[in-house]
Structures are given as C-alpha cells and as structure tokens.
Structure 1
Amino acid sequence: MPEPQGNTIPTDSIPSIIAALSPSSHSLWIQAWKKSNIETILSQKFSTATISVLAPDNTALTAAGYTADRIAAATTSELDTLLMYHTLIGNLDPTLLRQGVPLQFAKSLLQDASLAVGLSKSVPGATFKGTEIYSYRHAVQMAGNDLMVDGKRLTLGNTAKIVRGWVLPVNQVLEMPRHQMKQWLEADGRFSLFLKALDLISASYEANFNMWGGYWIVYDAVDPSFQLDTKKYYAGWIPNVANQLMRNTLFAPTDEAFHKAGIFNAAQLETLNNRFNYAEAYEGKPTLDSMLHLHMPAAAEMDMPFDDNWYVTGVRIISTPTPANTVFHSDILNNTLLGNYNLNAGGGSDKKLNLTFDRTGASAITVNGIDSETPAATITEADRMTLQGPVHVVDRLIIPGSFKF
C-alpha cells in the first residue's frame, strides 16, 4: 500500500457522518441515521474503530422500500440493523482502493450473537481453535471508478473523509442474508432434486461412516464443536449446523439442471446413491456426492483414506487451521484469480479448486470442472446472499470427468 501523501487535515475541518452527505440526495439516510441508535452504538461498542459508511441514496432506499413514511414508522432496532449492515470496520479510502488494493473482506458493525464461525489463531509452535460471534461482512474492491461489494457493482457518489474514516455514497441498498444455504434452497422451490440428493448423501454418511465417532479420527482427539458438529445437522456436504457456520460458496443446480443430465426423479438419485458402500469407497468408484462435489468449493476433505472426491466441509480444517478463502462472488469468478487456486492455504496436501470459468457476452459466466466431459454450466443468477456466503444458481450439473453414470 503506498505511503499517505499530502498534509494532515485538521480534525476540526473534517465533517461528521451526517454533515458529509448532501440532504438533497441522502435525506432518507440522514432521517434513518438520526432516528436510530447508531451514534450510541458507535460510541459505546466501537469507540476506537475506523469505519467506512456505505450510504445508499434516496432512489436506492425508496426502491428497497425505505420511504420517509416507512422510516418514520420503523423501530430503532430495524433502523440500527440497516445502518450497521452498511457501516464497515476499516479504512476504505477510495483513493487507495483505486490504486489496486486487492479484494478484502470487511466486517460490518452488525453481528448475530446466536451464531458462531470458526476462528484460528496461530502462535509459534501452536494453533488455538475456537469460535467467534458471527459478523455480517462484505467483499469489497474497486472496478475502475465503481465499487464492487459482494459481487454487485455500485456507483460511487462524492466520497468524504470523516473523523472516524470515510463516507461512501452508493446507489444500491446491500442485500442482507436472512437464511442458511439449505434454508434458502428449501424456500426457493427450484432445487428439490438437489435437496433430495443432499438428504441421501447425509443418510449414507450416517449409515456407513459412523459419524458419531470411531472412523472420525480427528473427532476422537479434538472437540468437534470448532467448525461443525455432526451430531446436530448435516445436509450432504453442506454444513447445516444450527449455530456454527462455515463461510463458503455454492453453485446451486436447479431441477432443470438435473433434467439436462437425464435425472428426473428421486428414484434415479437413489440408484446412484446405492453405490455408496465401503468396498466401492476404498476402490475409488464414484458415488452420488462425487458427482456433485464440484458445486461447493471445499476447504476440507474427509480425514480418511477413502475416495478423495468425498468432501465433508469442516473436518480437514481442524488439521489445516488456515484454509484458503472459499467465498467467491461473481466479480472474481475467472481463471486469472482462481485457475490454479489451492484450497489448503495453511499447509497439508494441495487441493485445487478444479473449476474453470468463462464469460460469454457482457456478463454471462460459465463454470465447469477442469476435466469435465459435459457442457459448462451457466450462472443464471449470481450472488444470492446467505449466511454462509453467496449462492450462484446454475443451469447444468458440474460433473467431474471421472464420474460415470
């Protein structure tokens, strides 16, 4: 990062957050800010933090339903949530961002104390593992003069330095995740075959691998509550623990995607899944989850000598305390960034992403396995936000070349 240049601006000449915004374009944001408890929250809980406020303009807030009347009728809690979600911890200096600061994940002020995410802290000779309270966060980088947030392109207004950091006027309200991945799939209605496949995979893991101990070598030595607890919930290889989340990305295949692969009903999925047994696993023959595993980049794999294509996200992470980031919004889905991406950044054997991307036309993105023999999947809907991370809806299955029906 380049050294700061120019003279220091006297603090008394730097505006407050409200004073930095134009009343003509941001009267609704100012109204919400004044009615909320955000100033108290900042002074009591984040008194020393540098902040960057993404302030949607009146047009954006109105489109999202935040009219003057709604803001007037809203509870302070509702407004606190909106404002905290758009207030990020850290210095998003637009000048520095334009100079090529790489993608960064910035926590917002908004947290959910009922949820936890894994946390590792390494010191010489030891790694301590545990959890921390879930913070809603955003993936941020510049694209020319526009600000990319969670894969969405935002037009920046006149940014302003404030006492605590920066105000960045934007033209969109950020989408806030409300559900875990599996809940989102269930509520949507387009993914019944994928959900059935996950249920079948879960049942097979339960029946064949004794997930409550024994074969889970790492679970005998380490408290499994670090990243996920299989005694609670599991959805195929998507961690679906009630209160412990892993951040990840899902390429979600619709029912139509299964139809294109010749799969139309649960009976066909059951036939594929019936391959699941110890002998076939040891011999490395493909099973149902081997067909689907490329749909979620896995920062972990089973800590067992069986089929290397069977992923259980969250197990290997215990022995690999610093896995690579696997939250991929649409703006970084390209081979330049992800073409040789190693999922085990913290050591251990290399585990490549094994996906290849292409952009057709102005915006359409295709994704496929590196060795896939089937047509590439097109992302028909990108960056749908869940608590774990983005869901990209795809119109075909991403089938590894090694999988044979």
Structure 2
Amino acid sequence: MGLSTAWVAWSCYRMKRSYNTYPFTSSKHKMKHKTHQYWLFFLLCAAGILAGCRQEFFPPELGEPIPAATFPELLETLPETGYGTFRVIWERSNVKQLIADEYVKSDLTYLIPDDAAFANAGYTSASVNGMAAADLDTLLLAHIVPGALHVARLPTGSTLALNSLLSIPDIAITTARVSGQDQIARPYVFQHHLFKTADGIMSNGTALVVNDEADIRNGRMVLIDKLIPYAKKQMIDIMREDDRFSLFLAAADLNIAIRIPVYETYSTLNNSVYLDRARYEYHYIPPGGAVPANRLISLAQFTLFLPTNEAFHQVGIYTEADILALSQRADLDEVATAPRAQQRTAKTALEKVFHLHTLRGASTSNFTLNYELANRPVYVEITNSFNNVTASPFFFQHDLRPDVSQTTELRPYVVGQQSGRVTVQAASSAYPPATITESLMTLQGPVHVVDRLIIEEGVEL
C-alpha cells in the first residue's frame, strides 16, 4: 500500500470516529454532518486511487548509448613483420589454451621480444619448430605478468616487483606439515624486478628498450628488444661451473665440515637445522637422498655477493691451504670460545669474514642508481627470523611494495656507484668497496659477482 492510500484510510477512520463521538444536539445537524462526511469520503478515496496509480516521469533518452571500449586480440595487434618467431612459439605452445581456461577474466601484460631478440638468444622460426611444447610454454610464461602494465606511465626511477605466470610446481618456497609429511604450500614463481629508466625498463638487471605498447582485449602488449633471462640454475651450479669462484666454493665446503660436529652435538645430521644450514650457506636444495623421506626442503631465497678468486688475492688468500689457515685463526673464531648453548649462533672464523656476502631474501641490482632522482630504488627491510650465522641480521630487497616506506636506508651496507657500476661496502669498514661486475639470476635469487670481499668493520686479515 502506498503512502497516499494509507493516509486516506486513516482519514476515513478518523472521520467515522469523530461522527460517532461528537456531541451533536440535533438529529438534523447529525444528518447534515453525515452528508458532508460521505462527500468528503468519496473525494478522499478518489484522490487515494489516483495517487496509487501515479507513475514517475522520466524524460526520453537522447542520442545513442555509449559503446564499451573494445580492443583486438593479441595477434591482431602484433605488427605483421618483425615478430614471426613469437607467432610460431605462440601457436605451437599450450599457453593460448591455458590463458583461455584460467585467465579469461584477467588482465595480463605480454612482454614480447622481436625476431632479432629471439635470434640473438638462439631462437628462430625454424628452430622452435623442433622444440617441445613444454619448453615453449616456459619461455612464454616467463614473459607474461598479471595486470595491465603501462610502461610509459611509470615515473623514471620507480621500481616494481611482479610475479610472472611461470611457476615450477615441484619446487617449494614454503612447505606445510600435513599428517607427518611435508607438502608444498607455495611453489616457486619466477619474478620480475622492474626498474623504470629514461629509455625503457630493466628487468632483473637486463636493460630493455620498449619499441611500442598497446591495449589488447585482455590487457597490454609491450614490445621489447631482448629476451628476459629466467632462472634455470641454483646458486651452487654457478659456483661449481665457473673456476673464477673456486676459492669461495672451497670456503663454503670447509665451513660446513667445521659446522657438522657442532650440529652432531645437538641433533642428527638429518635434523632440519642441519638441512637449513646447507640451504643458507651452501646455496642449494640438498638432493633427495640426503633428505628424510617425510621431509620436503623449501627453496631459500637469497641475494649473494659472489667474490671472484681475484677478490681473495687482494687480501692475501691464494690457495685452499690459505682458506684452511684462515679457518683456524683463534682471533676470528667465536664458536671455539662460545658457551655450548651459543655455539650454533656464534660465528666461525670463516663466517666472520664471509657472512655479509649472503643475504636472506632476493634482490637485484639495476646498475643505474641515480641518487639525484626523487624516486630512487626502494630497499625493503626484512627481519631475519632464523639464527643463521652466514646471513645478515637485516635484508633489504630491491622492490616496490605499497606497505613499506620508500625511505628505508640500506644497512649494514653502503651502496654507491662508480663509473656507471654499483658498489657495495660494509658500513664503516676500512676495506674498499666492492664493485658488482655482473648479475646472474638463479632459482634462489640474484648472484652479484663482486671484485672485492665485503668485510665488516673490525675484522682484520
């Protein structure tokens, strides 16, 4: 019932009540009042009916409806020439169907190298025809990120960390204990650390020129001049395969041998503490035979400053015998003198020298630090929740996250630049800064090759 109809009903009820209760003294007066009451009742009912039937007035629509913006599909937007290799890879891979099945309502950004970029990396239209579809899937998924990325709108100096669609489901970043067995809670995902330069963008240290970008039906297309290398190896693989790092590898081997008796004192070798030591110091996932059947070892994410053999030579260390001698120096060894309960967290002589080379988490160097920019690269502080004697108490990730202040300072490191290259030095240390000569991406994170050791304040060699 509308408000008008309700008001009429209430008015009629009041009229009837007033007629029956009002103290008229004459029947003539009563008859006259009743006649007036009937007429008023009729008028009120008519008004109520008309009010109940009233419709709101809307002016007629003018003009044509505004159509929603529509954009062509990816291959329709792609230039007809210069991107033939990508077209072949796209058609032969399973990625097109994957996106149709799982990302049909999602915006995606496709970072697409041109034919010259593919050729420089060893891919041509002919060669990819002989590749397995799974390998082509991996190549494409590493170049696709969620969301619509407008590179031209990013201010110079801004940083972004974006997950790609490339994941490896059998490598765990985090695990969960279920019914006495470890299971993968979060699998490995290849991530792009982007830095906006005046000329384009950098991804994981690789400078990219953006040839063009455009909206497409399900996101954005960004045409680039290089392939973006994605991680295929572990950090230990880099050290084992390159003779330039043999002394650092020997130091890691020796220090684990020194640590084994300490852990035997408290637990068995299959204890999680020992396995974590292998991950955090030896920079790899132990092979299955070294891990109990009910354990699943997660991937430890790092930034590693990896010194060359020449970096050791500059402080008088030339052979593995010199490393052995360093490991036996009592003035550097905290473990030998620490109480038993503190030996797991005290530093050995080697850890005293090398612990600043390993950082928990993952970071990349963009090689274009400009401290005059208002928006310089962001360093995110992550508290080290493990008692790892080889890890810094704090780790700062080159990353842009909205929940972290951009004014965080980098400690205990001093980062600078010299001749266009990034330098890293321990805060207040008397040793000269180390220069990053190259960066390599691994499953654990970036390896920054340095030409000097990064030694903390107060340590003398």
Q: TM-score scaled to structure 1, two decimals? A: 0.76
In the alignment, which residue of structure 1 is the partner of 2:193? Answer: 139
Per-residue displacement from partner, 1:200-240 (whole Å, max 9, x unpaired)?
221222212448649xxxx8xxxx5xxxx633871662442
Per-residue displacement from partner, 1:342-389 (whole Å, max 9, x unpaired)?
44299x99747311122122x2222111122122212222x2111111
Counting matched residue pairs gives 350
1:37 aligns with 2:94: yes
Alignment of 1:282-297 (within 5 A): 287-297=349-359
Q: Which moved more, 1:335-344 or 1:38-47?
A: 335-344
Query: How far apart, in 2, do the equivalents of 1:99 and 1:261 lie?
Result: 39
CA gap of 1:291–1:148, structure 2 versus 1, over 3 A, is same
Query: How far apart, in 1, do the equivalents of 2:96 and 2:376 lie?
Result: 39
1:113 aligns with 2:144: no
CA gap of 1:250–1:117, structure 2 versus 1, over 3 A, is same
Q: What is the deviation of 1:104?
A: 2.1
Alignment of 1:140-159 (within 5 A): 140-159=194-213
SS at match of 1:269: helix
In the alignment, which residue of structure 2 is the partner of 1:391? Answer: 447
1:356 aligns with 2:418: no
1:344 aligns with 2:365: no
Q: What is the deviation of 1:277?
A: 5.9
CA gap of 1:118–1:103, structure 2 versus 1, over 3 A, is farther
Say what the alpha-carbon RMSD is for the aligned residues. 3.4
Q: What is the deviation of 1:394?
A: 0.9
Q: What letter matches 1:327 in structure 2? A: S
CA gap of 1:212–1:60, structure 2 versus 1, over 3 A, is farther
Query: How far apart, in 2, do the equivalents of 1:342 and 1:297 lie?
Result: 11
In the alignment, which residue of structure 2 is the partner of 1:176? Answer: 230
Q: What letter matches 1:356 in structure 2? A: V
Say which of 78, 81, 98 aligns to 1:21.
Answer: 78
Q: Specify the structure having the higher radius of gyration (Cα).
A: 2
List alignment gaps of at least 5 residues for structure 1: 1-7, 121-128, 299-324
Query: How far apart, in 2, do the equivalents of 1:394 and 1:58 lie?
Result: 33
Query: How far apart, in 2, do the equivalents of 1:270 and 1:333 lie?
Result: 38
Counterpart contact for 2:334–2:349, Cα < 8 Å: no
Q: Which moved more, 1:167-176 or 1:183-192?
A: 183-192
In the alignment, which residue of structure 2 is the partner of 1:319? Answer: none
Counterpart contact for 2:367–2:422, Cα < 8 Å: no
Q: Which moved more, 1:38-47 or 1:149-158?
A: 38-47
Q: What letter matches 1:344 in structure 2? A: T
Counterpart contact for 1:199–1:235, Cα < 8 Å: no
Q: What letter matches 1:369 in structure 2? A: A
Query: How far apart, in 2, do the equivalents of 1:116 and 1:285 lie?
Result: 29
List alignment gaps of at least 5 residues for structure 2: 1-65, 177-182, 287-296, 396-410
CA gap of 1:206–1:32, structure 2 versus 1, over 3 A, is same
Counterpart contact for 1:139–1:150, Cα < 8 Å: yes
In the alignment, which residue of structure 2 is the partner of 1:371? Answer: 428
Per-residue displacement from partner, 1:138-185 (whole Å, max 9, x unpaired)?
112321240121122211022011122111000001112211111111
Query: How far apart, in 2, do the equivalents of 1:241 and 1:30 lie?
Result: 37
Q: What letter matches 1:60 in structure 2? A: A
Query: How far apart, in 2, do the equivalents of 1:165 and 1:262 lie?
Result: 56
SS at match of 2:356: helix
SS at match of 1:19: helix
Alignment of 1:86-235 (within 5 A): 86-98=143-155, 102-118=158-174, 131-210=185-264, 213=267, 230-231=274-275, 234=278
Q: What is the deviation of 1:332?
A: 7.2
SS at match of 1:66: coil
Q: What letter matches 2:211 in structure 1? A: G
Q: What is the deviation of 1:18?
A: 1.1
Q: What is the deviation of 1:98?
A: 3.5
CA gap of 1:56–1:277, structure 2 versus 1, over 3 A, is same
Alignment of 1:204-283 (within 5 A): 204-210=258-264, 213=267, 230-231=274-275, 234=278, 237-242=281-286, 244-274=298-328, 275=330, 276=333, 278-281=335-338
SS at match of 1:139: strand
Per-residue displacement from partner, 1:101-148 (whole Å, max 9, x unpaired)?
x4222111111122111389xxxxxxxx97311111211232124012
SS at match of 1:155: strand
